[in-house]
Structure 1
Amino acid sequence: MLGDSGTLSNNVKTLLALLALHSVLDCYAGIWPIYKHLAGISLGVAGLIATLATTVTWVLQPYFGIWADKGYARVCVIAGTVLTFPMMLLGPVTGLLPSLPTWGGYGILFAAVFLAKLGQAMYHPAGASISGNLDDGRRSTMVALFVAFGWIGYGSSQLVFSYTFRWANTHTEWLLIPGGLVVLGALRWCFPKELHHQGRAGLISSITSIPFGRKRLYVLFAMLCCMSALGQGLFFLLPEFMEAKGYSSWFVHGGALLWIVAGSVIGIVPAGYLADTLGRHRVLVLSLLANLILFFAFVWTPLLPTYGIALLCMGVGAAMNMANPIGVAIGQHLFPEQRSLISGVLMGLSWAVGGTAPWIMGVLASRSDIGIVNALAMLWVAGVLAFGMSLFIETDMASDGDEIQD
């Protein structure tokens, strides 16, 4: 942990900078659902902006992974974080929107969201690689820390932005101060070991080599696309849904998201333990079944007391977000010779496909004959499809108990 002179080692400084950058990145990039609620942006338009920005930028994630592996990981994590900064300017921009042409106002909003999504796509492959390579003997711990700090940033995003928006009279640019300090610190502290894999295959050849037809990878991919759509659709409509159900302002303006993310973080630990003891495929199927039950209860249960809705949010978060890490682990096990590519496909590409959900949910929720609650209820179909597909995933194992023998 400490260098020879008693100072922090380069690896520790890099890790601390990386974790702080991840929190800022996902905090800043995660405010669109609550901003569109605060600014009164049409759900259909807000959904289209989110969908276009997500699908275009996250398809590029494999490219940024290749770029990071060629010696630009530090550039990716710092520049990626800076690209989310325009999101904090949306507060003061709100007052200008009525005086701008419709296309101009929406163009500014799209540019900010697009840059933020581009920053996330640039940051995540490089950040995951840096964290895992800091300590070969504790790779899992390093990656777990990396993931946890991203969730902390995202879970706090809506509360931080919404309360600053209201208390500072839309002057959310003040939130750039902590982010700027973090970036300055990273410029001094973040110096990861660059890998310089110059011989790695290019983006096109990597994509064309994806073995979708082997070992039913297409089933696993489609399942994760459904779960990605479920998550993105839920987060997009969450402020309006909590308001429609009659919950307090705290839950509407980010409290519900905070509890869902808390459940996700807490659920990661037992999910990993259960996957190691019961087998990944069994735990995946059980988590998706639990997701069906809890998501249905979340949508249709009448108004609950504070502790009740908090627990239900945590349960939904835990069940909903188990599928991705377990699904990626199964994919990596099936194709050990292509682990990086498989991770990019099952994480980045599935997220891009699932990014169509905000637009679909926005259009449906805007219709008077459907409404917000019924629109969100329709997402349950994605959970049903994911559960059904999980029963047909190839595990390439003689028994579930062998599945953990990597």
Structure 2
Amino acid sequence: MAITIKQPIQYSKIGVLSLAHMLNDLYSNFLPQMLPFLILINPSFTATQAAILVSSFTITSSIIQPLIGYYLDRQGKRWFVYIGTLWMAIMLSLTGVVHGNYLLLVTLAALAGLGTAAFHPQASTMVNILSGSYKAVLLSTFIAFGNFGFALGPLLLVPLFQTYGLQATLVTVIPGMLVSLLLLFFAPRINLSSDNSSDLASVVASVKFAAKELSAIVSVIAVRSLAYTGLLTMLPLYFQARNLSNIAASHLVTIMLATGAIGGITGGFISDMFGRKRLIVGSLVLATPLFFAFLLTHGLLSTVFLALAGAALLSSFSVTVVAAQEVIPNNKAMAAGLTLGFANGIGGLAVVLIGRVADFWGLYAAVSVLFTLPLIAGLLALFMKDRPAARAQRVA
């Protein structure tokens, strides 16, 4: 039997978690903003090294999330949200100090990833429980705040690094400390654990029963994540190669991510009305031609296409999380770990291959490969089960 907690929708608590998610994902977009400055300091810094650096954070922040999710389904540890945020803030704030030591830089990036791995399953499951019958819309809002945080990353960090150098990373620990205190006092005090989720055998049976559909969802997310993480890594380098200033490049990345956040909220509404599968397939298939239209046009029109492509790419972000939680409803935190974590980690690991493509065939080739990936993800989504729309179920 799934977790059922009858209570009014707690918008204030969801708001606190969403604000924390915004900061958490701002930190998650920290390392890609450092890359152009690392290259200026060390011209021999390669695209492959850049990909490894970003992937080290993505992998540790993602691969272990299903294990953390399983543990949270059994125990429910509220402190994961504020300790995880503070840990990540401290680790990333030290990266600019050690930028001359690549091995230490990668180590700090990997350690920082553990903080977001602790935050996401706990926070997203709290939102799920507090959202009543509006799970897709409110979880979309929660995730959209995270995407807005991603969008703010280039806008805030690039001017900071350009003005004060990479040593300025030290001051970025302050927002993390403040938000951790906010979570300490105002994060919801609810029990996430379920008696039915505590038995490992029942978890294995639940996952095995839903293995085919979960595999389709995880595959879609992994390919979409490769496109997303790859673009965050390669677009700043691509814009730099095209002689755009770091500020202008950061504005373009911000536009893509901001419209992606808006697309995520819109996608939640559409999926509630017309079904998860239709939204996922349609938006991802549409993203590829929009990205290539951006590549082949210039000026304002090019920027418009990039904005639309970002919205299409990220409109399914929260929907895939809800879809997985509906497939294994007794293990919502583990489902969040699989989708927000493991699948994204697999995509993050593959970014190293995109770095190799950039080193051998150029950044244009690497970006072109990334623009093709949403179409592949959309085709994989065809293997998902076509469930009734959530709003139709409520009416029935």
| TM-score for both structures, normalised by structure 1 | 0.81
1:33 aligned to 2:2?
no
Structure number with larger C-alpha Rg: 1
1:349 aligned to 2:342?
yes
**Cα distance, 1:292 vs. partner?**
1.7
1:68, 1:76 within 8 Å by CA — same for their partners in 2? no
Corresponding residue number in structure 2 for 1:101:
none
**Cα distance, 1:30 vs. partner?**
1.3
Distance in 2 (CA, whole Å) between partners of 1:392 and 1:196 is 31
Distance in 1 (CA, whole Å) between partners of 2:78 and 2:255 is 32
**Cα distance, 1:126 vs. partner?**
0.7
Alpha-carbon deviations, 1:68-121, whole Å to 9, x = none?
A: 345553211111101212212222333xx1xxxxxxx12221122112211111
Corresponding residue number in structure 1 for 2:92:
87
Alpha-carbon deviations, 1:37-57, whole Å to 9, x = none?
A: 211242212212332443344
Residue 193 of structure 1: SS of its match in structure 2? coil
Query: Which amino acid in 1 is paired with 2:105?
Result: L
Call closer, same or farther: CA 1:204–1:167 in 2, change over 3 Å: farther
Q: Which has the larger displacement, 243-252 or 227-236?
A: 243-252
Call closer, same or farther: CA 1:152–1:277 in 2, change over 3 Å: closer
Distance in 1 (CA, whole Å) between partners of 2:221 and 2:323 is 12
Distance in 1 (CA, whole Å) between partners of 2:296 and 2:263 is 22
Corresponding residue number in structure 2 for 1:106:
102
Call closer, same or farther: CA 1:237–1:275 in 2, change over 3 Å: same
2:354, 2:366 within 8 Å by CA — same for their partners in 1? yes
Question: Identity over the aligned pairs, expressed in percent?
Answer: 25
Alpha-carbon deviations, 1:223-276, whole Å to 9, x = none?
A: 222111111111111101122334443232x21221112111221343233334
1:308 aligned to 2:301?
yes
Query: Which amino acid in 2 is paired with 1:90?
Result: T
Q: Which has the larger displacement, 348-357 or 270-279?
A: 270-279
Residue 83 of structure 1: SS of its match in structure 2? helix
Distance in 2 (CA, whole Å) between partners of 1:212 and 1:327 is 18
Q: Which has the larger displacement, 208-217 or 374-383?
A: 208-217
Distance in 2 (CA, whole Å) between partners of 1:388 and 1:15 is 33
Q: Which has the larger displacement, 131-140 or 234-243?
A: 131-140
1:227 aligned to 2:224?
yes
Query: Which amino acid in 2 is paired with 1:26?
Result: D
Aligned mate of 1:162, from 158, 179, 186: 158
2:141, 2:265 within 8 Å by CA — same for their partners in 1? no
**Cα distance, 1:199 vs. partner?**
6.4
Task: Summarize the alignment of residues 210-221 of structure 1 with structure 2, pairs less than 5 Å apart.
Answer: 210-211=207-208, 215-221=212-218
1:76 aligned to 2:80?
yes
1:49 aligned to 2:45?
no
Call closer, same or farther: CA 1:258–1:215 in 2, change over 3 Å: same
Distance in 1 (CA, whole Å) between partners of 2:368 and 2:291 is 9
1:23, 1:153 within 8 Å by CA — same for their partners in 2? yes
Call closer, same or farther: CA 1:261–1:193 in 2, change over 3 Å: same
Call closer, same or farther: CA 1:180–1:206 in 2, change over 3 Å: same
Aligned-residue Cα RMSD (Å) equals: 3.0
Corresponding residue number in structure 1 for 2:18:
19
Distance in 1 (CA, whole Å) between partners of 2:211 and 2:173 is 47
1:330, 1:395 within 8 Å by CA — same for their partners in 2? no
Corresponding residue number in structure 1 for 2:66:
62
Distance in 2 (CA, whole Å) between partners of 1:332 and 1:293 is 30
**Cα distance, 1:334 vs. partner?**
4.7
**Cα distance, 1:214 vs. partner?**
5.0
Call closer, same or farther: CA 1:145–1:348 in 2, change over 3 Å: same
**Cα distance, 1:291 vs. partner?**
0.9
Corresponding residue number in structure 2 for 1:242:
239
Residue 195 of structure 1: SS of its match in structure 2? coil
**Cα distance, 1:287 vs. partner?**
1.1
Q: How many residues align?
A: 378
Distance in 1 (CA, whole Å) between partners of 2:47 and 2:27 is 20
Residue 357 of structure 1: SS of its match in structure 2? helix
Corresponding residue number in structure 2 for 1:387:
378
1:215, 1:334 within 8 Å by CA — same for their partners in 2? no
Query: Which amino acid in 2 is paired with 1:181?
Result: L
1:215, 1:394 within 8 Å by CA — same for their partners in 2? no
Distance in 2 (CA, whole Å) between partners of 1:375 and 1:193 is 45
Task: Summarize the alignment of residues 276-287 of structure 1 with structure 2, pairs less than 5 Å apart.
Answer: 276-287=272-283
Query: Which amino acid in 1 is paired with 2:78?
Result: R
Distance in 1 (CA, whole Å) between partners of 2:165 and 2:319 is 43
Call closer, same or farther: CA 1:375–1:204 in 2, change over 3 Å: farther
Task: Summarize the alignment of residues 81-160 of structure 1 with structure 2, pairs less than 5 Å apart.
Answer: 81-85=85-89, 86-94=91-99, 97=100, 105-134=101-130, 136=132, 142-160=138-156
Call closer, same or farther: CA 1:275–1:130 in 2, change over 3 Å: closer
**Cα distance, 1:314 vs. partner?**
1.5
1:372 aligned to 2:377?
no
Distance in 2 (CA, whole Å) between partners of 1:136 and 1:115 is 35
Distance in 2 (CA, whole Å) between partners of 1:325 and 1:189 is 24
1:334, 1:395 within 8 Å by CA — same for their partners in 2? no
1:405 aligned to 2:393?
yes
